[in-house]
Amino acid sequence: MGKFVLAYRGGSGMAEDPAEREQAMAAWGAWFGQLGDAVVDAGAPFGASSTVAADGAVNGGGSAALGGYSVLSADSIEDAVAHTQGCPVLANGGTVDVYEALQVM
């Protein structure tokens, strides 16, 4: 088993309307419920960001435009990719980048 980071991009973002926000949270809860023990860290949405360059320059707004992350346990990257099916960010037009987290220490 390995750990895999799901990095979310795009989608509809955080809803302004409380009822829509509650509906979105229910969709995320249902998806995480389907994943069961594969969820290592449900993660969180990202807020404000900055990008720091090698020369020390700082630009407001992250260059990767990530919306949040989660960490899953899976047998392979293909298995982790299969777990993205049903992810609410995909239903809202976003994408999910899947990265294997390599154990180095």
For the domain covering 2-101, report its CATH number: 3.30.70.1060
Strand partners, 72: 4, 39
User: Going by C-beta distance under 8 Å and a sequence separation of 6 or more, which residues neighbour residue 58?
Assistant: 50, 51, 52
- Distance (Å, whole) CA 56 – CA 26: 41
Sorted by where each begins, the domain ranges of the chain are 2-101
Which pLDDT band, with edges at 50, 70 and 90, does 12 fall under? low
Q: What is the pTM of this model?
A: 0.87
The DSSP result for 25-69, as a single string, is: HHHHHHHHHHHGGGEEEEEEE--S-EEE-TTS-EEES-TT-EEEE
pLDDT tens figures, 38-93: 999 999 988 888 999 999 999 887 777 899 999 999 999 999 999 999 999 998 88
Residue 78 phi, psi (nearest 5)? -65, -40
